[in-house]
Every structure is written in C-alpha cells, then in structure tokens.
Structure 1
Amino acid sequence: MLLSQERNLVVEYGRKMLEAGLTTGTGGNLSILNRSKGLMAISPSGLNYLDATAGDIVLMDLEGNIHDSKRKPSSEAGFHIALYKKRPAINAVVHTHSVYATTVACLNMELPAVHYLVGFAGKKVPLAPYATFGTPELAENVVNTIEDYNAVLLANHGLITVGQAIQNAFDAAEELELIARIYIQALSVGKPVIVPEDEMERVIDKFSTYGQAGGKED
C-alpha cells in the first residue's frame, strides 16, 4: 500500500485525538506529508476515527489531486496543503475542536503565555480570523496568521498545530488544550499574569534541547 506507514499513523493518531478528548465524532482532522514522494496522507471526510482503517486514509499531492484513494478527503484539506507549502520544515498537521482551546477561539482571543508550556506553540497562540470551514478564505487566514508559530487558533472554530512529525503536532495539541483550560479558569477568578517575553524566549530555547531527543521540561 502506498504510504502505508503514514496512513497507519493517521489512523492511530485519529483515535488518540478521541481518547484524549481533543475532538468528538468525526470532528477535526489530521495529516502527514511524505515530502520525498510529494504526497499527503489525510483523514477522510465524515468517517469516525474508530471505524477508519489505513485503506480509508486519503492520499493527495500538494496541488490537491487525489491518489490511490477510495474516499473523499477531509473538507479542510485546503489549509493542510497551504501549511505544507508555507512551512517546508513541517510534515504533520493536527486540527482539533478541543473544548477549552475552542472556547478561547470563540471569545476571539489569542492564547497568551499564561504558562510556560505555551512554548509548544511559541510565545503565544495567535488567532486567525473567522472564515467558513473548508474554504480557500480559511486556508488563507491560517497561513497568513501562523507565521513561524507551531499552532494557531481559528476564530469560532478550533485549533491547528503543526510539527516535524505527527507526535510533535499531537503533543502540542494536548498541551495547548491544558493551557487553554488553565487560562479560562484563571480568567474566571481574576486577571492572569503572563510570562514575560524574554522568559518565553529562554523556555523555547530550552525546549529545543531538553530530554533524550529534544522535548519539554516537566
């Protein structure tokens, strides 16, 4: 099977999204790009992650053409393609409708550095303006907003994370959901204190070397 490893990983991480409470039903989507072959493996439209098999995962090139696939791709394939074109160093995209991150997005707020783990995204998580799902306008808003961050909130919609590998993008989605929850809870009590920008620069630098092969500080 063409891109069997990538297809199996999309199935695996789709189920992990459900298990981690990062989405429900058929919501959200994820993809992995094999740059050497010029093909993206992306979750199919409208299929429950628990029912998906590797053969259901759709292969597309970065011009939007479908290869070796029996199903329709996610309706959000456009912003996956746009992100891969804009960011040559990323090979995975995860899009969630996780509750707290989406709550922040529905308030049309960025997620600031209320906790140093925002460093998974950068110094903050920026907010892309609202556009109808699955449209070129949404893809344009995403790529115009994300810049060099590893995550972006979609106004009144959800969260996107990117990474060199699917594990990186998924970990970022999990951690940022935690930070979004902390932020919402802190706002309900008072005014959150934001980690200074120079400290976030140090944190991001430490993230690049922490652990066995780079990772987060506990």
Structure 2
Amino acid sequence: MTIDKQREAILKYGRKMLTSQLTTGAGGNLSICDRTSGRVAISPSGIEYFDMKPEDVVITDLNGQVLEGKYKPSSELGFHLALYRERQDVNAVVHTHSVYATTMACLGWEIPAVHYLVGFSGYKVPVAPYATFGTDELAQNVAKGIGAYNAVLLANHGLVAVGSDIGRAFNTAEEIELVARIYYQTKAVGEPVILPDQEMERVLAKFATYGQSPKDTDHV
C-alpha cells in the first residue's frame, strides 16, 4: 500500500469510527505500518476525522521520527510503535473509546467468551493496567497486556485492536464492542453462561479459514 493509500485508509476508518459510534470528536487514533519501508501512517493529534485531509495524516518511522506531515502525530504514537515492535504479525492498530468496551475497562473486567465473536480477539479480551495517556508506561502496558490476543482493554481508558491490515483491526474493534455490550447486558440481568475453552478452540480454528472465496459465501 502506498503512502497515499495509507493516508486515505486512515481517513476512511477514522470517519468510520465516528459513524459506527466507536469514538467521538477527535477521540481515539489509528495507524498502518508498512513493514517493507518501515514507515507508519498515523492520525494526527486533536484533529476531528471529518475535518482531516489526507495530507494531515502523519508519517513516522518505527522510532517515532516524523518523516512527513505538518501536525504532531497522535499522543498515543508510543503504544502503536510498541505494538509494531512486539508483534511482527501486526500491521495496523485501531484505538477506540467505544462505550461498552470502555465500560468494561473502567470496571477492570476482562471480556470472557460470553459470545463466540470474542474470537476476533482470541479466547477473551484481557485488560492492561492503567497508565496516563501518551506515556511510555502506557505503551509498555499495552504491548505486554495484549499478549497474543488481537484486542486489549486499557483500564479506565478504552480499547486497542490490532490486525494484519486496517480492515481487520477495525472489524475486531467493532465486533468486540458488540461482545462488550452483550456481556454488560447479560451481567445486568443475571450471570451469563461462558463458552468453554474447548468450544473456543473450535471457533478459532474456523476463524482461521473464515472469509469468502468464489465457492464460499458463508456468513458468521
């Protein structure tokens, strides 16, 4: 993906975060890493997505040095870079302040396998310890807290989702918000039934080959 395409994708999914009610205003942030060039396209700090232009998206290297762009990169650049360093399978990061996932984060509750769609993250969604936004401590907490999962709750803050591309990272953020809402609502009524690990093993195996091909039009 060229830098121009990366910048367009940041705008597209940044605006989609708003229309999908995964964040508000200029909240949250997202990035794409080009492993070949070692460049990262990341949303700028404090600019609302519908006011943003492609050239406003900041380009840095994997050390955080700004290569292109007139604005400061997101204040959370640190944990984006930490994730890229920690996980070679990750090429995109989406950070949201979605209501139900953030509610779980503020309670300090992991999201268990209350619904099989938690498989977008893995067996569950873990919680990373709280640290002030934009700090090295938060970056370390996120990179360590996510482990091998594709999503992690940031205590008293929000959600981070990762993927091999921006579409997959965004889908994970969206599906985990749905599961967080289901978990919240089931906890409000009673005690939810949690799927056992054996079932989640089957789910994750099916997710590994999930997707459409010319002969496969199944839907989750």
TM-score of Structure 1 vs Structure 2, range by shorter chain: over 0.9
Identity across matched positions, percent: 61
The equivalent residue for 1:160 is: 160
- Residues 100, 184 of structure 2: 8 Å contact kept: yes
In structure 2, the partner of 1:3 is 3
SS of aligned partner of 1:40: strand
Name 1:47's counterpart in structure 2: 47
Q: Evaluate the alpha carbon distance shift between residue 216 and residue 65 of structure 1 in structure 2; reply closer, same or farther with a 3 A threshold.
A: farther
1:106 is aligned to 106
Cα distance in 1 for partners of 2:219, 2:125 equals 19
Counterpart of 1:162, as a letter, is: V
Is residue 184 from structure 1 mapped to residue 204 from structure 2 by the alignment? no
Give the superposition deviation at 1:216.
8.6
- 16 and 216 in structure 1: CA distance in 2 versus 1, 3 angstrom threshold: farther
Q: Contact conserved, 1:30 with 1:95, CA < 8 A, in 2? A: yes
Q: Would you say the 8 A contact 1:100–1:177 is kept in 2? A: yes
TM-score between both structures, scaled by the size of structure 2 = 0.96
User: 5+ unaligned residues in a row in structure 2: which ranges?
Assistant: none
- What is aligned with 2:142? 142
Matched with 1:27 is 27
TM-score (norm 1): 0.97
Q: Partners of 1:26 and 1:87 in 2: how far apart?
A: 27
Amino acid at match of 2:19: E
Alignment of 1:122-137 (within 5 A): 122-137=122-137
The AA in structure 2 aligned to 1:140 is Q
Q: CA deviation at 1:68?
A: 1.4
Contact 2:212 2:218 in 1 (8 A): no
1:46 and 1:74 in contact (8 A); partners too: yes
Q: Check if 1:61 corresponds to 2:61.
A: yes
State the Cα RMSD in Å: 1.4
Cα distance in 1 between the residues matched to 2:119 and 2:70: 39
**Dislocated runs of 4+, deviation >4 Å:** 213-217
Question: Quick one: structure 1 residues 62 and 124, their matched pair in 2 at CA, closer, same or farther if it must change by over 3 Å?
Answer: same
**Structure 1: which amino acid aligns with 2:56?**
D
CA drift at 1:183: 0.4
* Contact residue 75 and residue 134 of structure 2 kept, 8 A: yes
TM-fit CA distance, 1:211: 2.5
Equivalent pairs, count: 217
Alignment correspondent of 1:13? 13
SS of corresponding position for 1:59: strand
Q: Deviations over 1:76-111 (max 9, x none)?
A: 000000000000011000000000000000001101
1:9-63 CA distance string (max 9 Å, x none): 0011000000000000010000000111100000000000001111000001111
Cα distance, 1:217 vs structure 2: 4.8
Q: Is the 8 A contact 1:208 1:215 kept in 2?
A: no
Q: Distance in 1 between matches of 2:180 and 2:219?
A: 19
C-alpha separation in 1, matches of 2:166 and 2:217 = 14
Give matches, 1:68-79, under 5 Å: 68-79=68-79
Q: What do the CA deviations read for 1:96-132 (whole angstroms, capped 9, x no partner)?
A: 0000000000001101110000000000000000000
